[in-house]
């Protein structure tokens, strides 16, 4: 009986903590993919040979995909041609555990390339963060401004991505202007920036041609930073958790054993 109880205790402790240990051994990153090439057809995208996106048209955005830390081969194919083995573009994407990335297929088809953004998933409580990316291949440098007011981001060239700006939540009328002028190339009225949310605003399309200049707005809920290593002893990590809960588990097991013995004595 004692042996059975010890086995039960071990099983219970392992079920409580084993999953956490194994989860931390599989360090992963988050990656999402965007089709931002204005004249490229719908595409299929593979990561390390596995198809993760099928028939994605211009401005398509995937959910975040979980991938192991390290190097990954990303290949872009015209939709339906993965089996032919002739990608339009292949690039190596290097990711770190616990981090988030946005990978974009950008530029015109003849000059297709991959741009990678490092995504910040945190902000001060009750604040919002916003950044702007310029991915219109034929547009000049641009300013992003409050309509009729101050410039928030200035003189951004093609493929530039601004730093995040942390601001109070607000609903703003924004506009994209030719840098250094009052010439508006794109209006963004009623742009809502919510608290505890991270925004990435991407200018895509063509300033002169079709598809016309447009924006992709990515809104991500702010989260705590994902752990990049195992919790350390003495720092409130897994060991501290075991030290706190294990006596409770043992006490419960001991009480169960006491009640079982007591019941057995009354029955004998």
- Give bridge partners of residue 15 from the DSSP assignment: none
Side-chain-facing half-sphere of 192: CA atoms under 13 Å? 4
pLDDT at 149: 86
Could you give the angle at which helices 238-267 and 2-25 cross, rounded to 10 degrees?
160
Instruction: Enumerate domains of the chain plus CATH numbers.
Output: 2-22+230-267 (no CATH), 28-119 (2.60.40), 120-227 (2.60.40)
Please count the other Cβ atoms lying within 10 Å of the Cβ belonging to residue 135: 24
Let me know: does 54 contact 92? Beta carbons within 8 Å. Answer: no
Angle (CA) 260 261 264, round 5°:
90
pLDDT tens digits for range 153-204: 999 999 999 999 999 999 999 999 999 999 999 999 999 999 999 999 999 9
Give me Rg for the CA atoms of the chain.
Answer: 26
Q: What is the pTM of this model?
A: 0.73
Strands 197-204 and 128-134 come out as: parallel
- In this prediction, the residues of the chain whose per-residue pLDDT falls under 70 are 1-26, 224-268
How far apart (Å, rounded) are the C-alpha atoms in residues 86 and 73?
14
pLDDT at 223: 85
């Amino acid at each position: 009986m004692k042996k059975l109880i010890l086995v039960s205790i071990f099983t219970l402790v392992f079920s409580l903590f084993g999953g956490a240990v194994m989860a931390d051994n599989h360090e992963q990153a988050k990656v999402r993919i965007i089709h931002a090439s204005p004249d490229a057809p719908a595409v299929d995208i593979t990561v390390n040979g596995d198809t993760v996106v099928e028939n994605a048209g211009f401005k398509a955005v995937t959910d975040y995909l979980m991938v192991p830390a390290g190097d990954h081969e990303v290949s872009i194919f015209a939709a339906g041609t993965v089996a032919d083995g002739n990608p339009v573009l292949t690039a190596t994407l290097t990711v770190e555990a616990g981090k988030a990335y946005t990978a974009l297929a950008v530029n015109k088809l003849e000059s297709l390339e991959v741009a990678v953004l490092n995504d910040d998933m945190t902000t001060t409580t009750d604040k919002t963060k916003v950044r702007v990316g310029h991915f219109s291949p034929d547009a000049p440098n641009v300013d992003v401004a409050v309509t009729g007011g101050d410039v928030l981001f200035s003189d951004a060239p093609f493929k530039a991505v601004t730093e995040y700006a942390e601001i109070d939540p607000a609903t703003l009328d924004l506009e994209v202007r030719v840098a250094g002028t009052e010439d508006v190339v794109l209006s963004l009225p009623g742009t809502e920036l919510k608290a505890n949310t991270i925004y990435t605003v991407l200018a895509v399309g063509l300033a002169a041609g079709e598809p016309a200049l447009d924006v992709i707005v990515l809104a991500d809920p702010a989260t705590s930073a994902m752990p990049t290593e195992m919790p350390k002893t003495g720092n409130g990590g897994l060991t501290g958790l075991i030290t706190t809960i294990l006596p409770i588990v043992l006490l419960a097991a001991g009480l169960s054993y006491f009640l079982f013995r007591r019941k057995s004595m009354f029955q004998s």
